[in-house]
Structure 1
Amino acid sequence: MKYVIIGGDAAGMTAAMEIYRNVPGAEITSVERGFIYSYGQCGLPYVVDGRISSTKRLIARDVATFRDKYGIDALVGHEVERIDVEKQCVIGTDLASGEQFEIPYDKLLIATGADPVMSVKKGADLAGVHMVKTIPMLEDLLADLTPDIKHATIIGGGYIGLEMAETLQASGKKVRLIQRSGYVAKFLDKELAQHVHEEAKKQGVEVLLNTSVEAFEGKVRVERVVTKEGTFDTDLVIVATGIQPNTQFLKDTGIVLAKNGAVIVNRHLETSIENIYAAGDCAMHFNIVKDRLDYVPLGTTANKHGRVAGLNMSGKFASFRGIVGTSIMKFFDLSVASTGINEDTAKQLGFEYEAFKYSARHIAGYYPGAQRMFIKIVVRKRDQQLLGAQIIGPAGVDKRIDVFATALYNKMTLPDLLDLDLAYAPPFNGVWDPLQQVARINGRL
């Protein structure tokens, strides 16, 4: 049995290892257009200020390990350009030699991830304009962060934009963040995002809202950012305005794609073409809360996708039950977390809902070091079934968002939270956890 995997990162190589474990003697070939396998993209921002000492620390398994220890033919610098579904082979170019290659498969996994979007076209080729998605991209940025660079401008206020704002500021640069809409961290509702704005101001990060970037200007190197609201001087730019699934090479294969280009898969990660699977950031995900396919590209989901795809390709029977859309990020002294849907999304989807806001200490209020967290919970109106939560604070956020995500996954109601047997001691919690405090005040069944 010949297995071919396109993409050498989280989803692809998780699947490869499942095949390796479950199919003795399997012939596995992985095809990667880059030169680095299995690394933690989410750790990239933290190399900037030295919290992570080197990009090498982010690599879980290198190419040699896959080749020598596991017998996987791990190709690098090989870009797949099309798939012949009739002949069952992948076709592309060896970027080093320029020669075309053709690799046959019995089962194929598409795990090509997503590429960052360069949302500003004019001046994007100037030196000093960067995106941060891969280790080579980050190393280009690091080489550019010389002592002469005093000021950096970040375009986009999502996860990467905010994390880069923190680490650049921590490394001694002045930072301006430009956001096209009225608030940053769009996975939050506006009133929760205000806490992020306040933290940015406290830390000296300039935030420009409702500002659209039109161009970058400079002779050889970027010197100015041009917006509809004015022109701003800068020494360096990072564009972090989103990603798009890397699926352009699937044109004319008959593989069904969503409007955003992501591959539509079933619960077993199978595509619309027999013997072809897809996983990770190039594929759609079933959202349990929305009860429909969704696109939430996160490393956790990519690894789970890869596991399920690898098991099914190995002849096992495994289903991907879905996501609830849980995420968390650090922004200076704040932890910012979300799971499920926020109020804005509930409105857009036509849910009849209620939303509750609450503020509580993360541990017993009388215990030294108790700090305030801010919580917003969205529930379905008719039966109080949980739909989503947003939590922000300097401590205790990760514990609560994971509890709530577990409750979401199991379709619990707001009053059900009262029955959870959660750990209590004054240094760790109040006798009623903050989530349970929301339920006590608002739950009514």
Structure 2
Amino acid sequence: MTNKEEKTLTHYVIIGGDAAGMSAAMEIVRHDKKAQVTTLEQGTVYSYGQCGLPYVIDGRIANAERVIARSPETFRDRYGIDARTNHRVESIDYEKKEVHGTHVETDETFTVHYDKLLIATGAHPLVPSLRNSDLSGIQVFKTIEQTKQLVAAIEEKQHVTVIGGGYIGLEVAEALTLAGKKVRLIQRGDRLAKNFDDSISEAILTKAREHGIEVLLNEEVIGFEGEDVVRKVTTKNGAYATDYVVLALGVRPATAFAQSPQLHTLRNGAIVTNEQMETTIPDVYAAGDCASHFNRLTGKHDYIPLGTTANKQGRVAGLAMCGEDARFKGIVGTSIFQFFDYAIGGTGLNERALQATNRDYDSITLTANAIAGYYPGGDKMTLTLYYDTFTRHLLGVQIIGGAGVDKRLDVIATALYAQLTVEDLLDLDLSYAPPFNGVWDPVQQMARRLQR
């Protein structure tokens, strides 16, 4: 390539090689034929499905490599992207438009110039300062390497303690139980799955104990005991013997290296962007778990890190970076997870969130069949629908049950996006046949009751 040709190229630099970063990179390659794309990933793996990793623990997914979508070599050879691995970014000079960092293996420093920059570094697991947390046998769980570490470790371990009762903690506890391990789950608060209503949290607690998981609520972990290897978890209430510990205490945006007085962030460090994923610094964009997420229901910037949102924001960022009129329209807060034979999902605002808004709302709870009542094999589900008392606009739903929860959750998520009312649900043309539904879908059954 000649110097003249290089000057006509736009150099896009993307920090982070997973969902948001590589979604953006692919859009840039497709839409800007004069693009020079460099991606900087501090690990060795690109573009993988983190949400699938808990299922590797018990063998539902055969191995961690199965969740990898594309390798760095694929991005380099097929798409012409300079996909670098082991490149840890440590600072950004926004005035000079330079990214600075260190190669993880060689300790050599590097500097990369950009015309346009995307920060897509995701989030770090929270690791609190606990006594003796450097003992062997204590780990977080987020990456492929950490998954392999856990799978290898539990081959010789009988008892595992999981600290944290959110999505990841519950999924890991379930997987370890299915892998034949004795599991203790320690939660600092008074209930599990705090993003859901109390009734769902109670059902999850009951289900965990049914499957032999020892659940300790209102237990604040203060440290660990052992000679080189962890042997006990200590809390303010006592000490508990264990063979291994998994920390699942949530995540924090990985943005410390990018901080600047000119860069607006939320209190937790998530980078605030506009609809086109532009930050408050010219030619700098952010997307994914390191960025804020505009909540359509509250009208505020929120932080709900999910793979679906990361891919969408990455796509918008890539298009916007090369001049396309793409916009991220926001989230309504949809999530779902499996816990043994339960499917548990929510979208919109739950009761605690609504109480915090001082909004006038009401709700209806219904237990219904997922399919026609006379057709064999159907599961029941319990739904709680929240709506505005005066306008009747939908505000959210919480659902727990078996098969079919996802379908109803997605109906309400779509209705929230479209700002539908309770009465609008009655007019939706939803699919029906006895193996799949009743003539009135459960979400429409709730609307009918409210109409009466």
Per-residue CA deviation, residues 343-368 of structure 1 (Å, 9 max, x unaligned), is 01100122211121111111111111
1:225 to 229, 233, 237: 233
Partner in structure 1 of residue 141 of structure 2: 132
Q: Distance in 2 between matches of 1:81 and 1:120?
A: 22
Q: Distance in 1 between matches of 2:270 and 2:29?
A: 27
1:97 aligns with 2:106: yes
Per-residue CA deviation, residues 10-58 of structure 1 (Å, 9 max, x unaligned), is 0000000000000013100000111110000001101111111111111
Query: Which residue identity is paired with 1:135?
Result: I
Query: Which residue identity is paired with 2:116?
Result: K
1:187 to 195, 198, 202: 195
State the secondary structure of the residue aligned to 2:274. coil
Partner in structure 2 of residue 270 of structure 1: 278
Partner in structure 2 of residue 214 of structure 1: 222
Q: Distance in 2 between matches of 1:443 and 1:270?
A: 44
1:441 aligns with 2:449: yes
TM-score (normalizing by structure 2): 0.96
What does residue range 40-439 of structure 1 map to in structure 2 within 5 Å? 40-147=49-156, 149-252=157-260, 254-439=262-447
Deviation at 1:253, TM superposition (A): 5.9
Q: Distance in 1 between matches of 2:104 and 2:209?
A: 46
Q: Distance in 2 between matches of 1:443 and 1:101?
A: 65
Q: Is the 8 A contact 1:83 1:253 kept in 2?
A: no
Q: Is the 8 A contact 1:7 1:110 kept in 2?
A: yes
Q: Distance in 2 between matches of 1:158 and 1:361?
A: 28
Segments of 5+ residues of structure 2 without an aligned counterpart are 1-9
Deviation at 1:252, TM superposition (A): 3.1
Per-residue CA deviation, residues 357-410 of structure 1 (Å, 9 max, x unaligned), is 111111111111122111111111111111110100022101100111000110
- Distance change (3 Å), C-alpha of 1:157 and 1:120: farther
State the secondary structure of the residue aligned to 1:69. helix
Q: Distance in 1 between matches of 2:422 and 2:215?
A: 36
State the secondary structure of the residue aligned to 1:67. helix
Deviation at 1:146, TM superposition (A): 2.1
Deviation at 1:265, TM superposition (A): 0.3
Q: Distance in 2 between matches of 1:267 and 1:84?
A: 24
Query: Which residue identity is paired with 1:129?
Result: I
State the secondary structure of the residue aligned to 1:146. helix
Q: Distance in 2 between matches of 1:115 and 1:181?
A: 22
Q: Distance in 2 between matches of 1:70 and 1:221?
A: 46
Query: Which residue identity is paired with 1:203?
Result: H
TM-score (normalizing by structure 1): 0.98
Q: Distance in 2 between matches of 1:384 and 1:206?
A: 42
Q: Distance in 1 between matches of 2:451 and 2:136?
A: 56
Question: Aligned residue pairs: how many?
Answer: 443
Per-residue CA deviation, residues 253-299 of structure 1 (Å, 9 max, x unaligned), is 62111111000100110000000000000000100111111000000
Q: CA RMSD in A?
A: 1.0
Q: Distance in 2 between matches of 1:329 and 1:100?
A: 41
Query: Which residue identity is paired with 2:139?
Result: H
Q: Is the 8 A contact 1:85 1:253 kept in 2?
A: no
Query: Which residue identity is paired with 1:357?
Result: T
1:2 aligns with 2:41: no
Tell me whether 366-375 or 151-160 shows the greater mean CA deviation: 366-375
Q: Is the 8 A contact 1:362 1:396 kept in 2?
A: yes
Deviation at 1:205, TM superposition (A): 1.2
Tell me whether 190-199 or 289-298 shows the greater mean CA deviation: 190-199
Per-residue CA deviation, residues 54-104 of structure 1 (Å, 9 max, x unaligned), is 111111000100111111111111111111111111111112221211111
Q: Distance in 2 between matches of 1:139 and 1:383?
A: 51
Q: Distance in 2 between matches of 1:98 and 1:371?
A: 56
Segments of 5+ residues of structure 1 without an aligned counterpart are none
Q: Percent identity?
A: 53
Q: Distance in 1 between matches of 2:122 and 2:168?
A: 16
Partner in structure 2 of residue 39 of structure 1: 48
Q: Distance in 2 between matches of 1:164 and 1:170?
A: 10
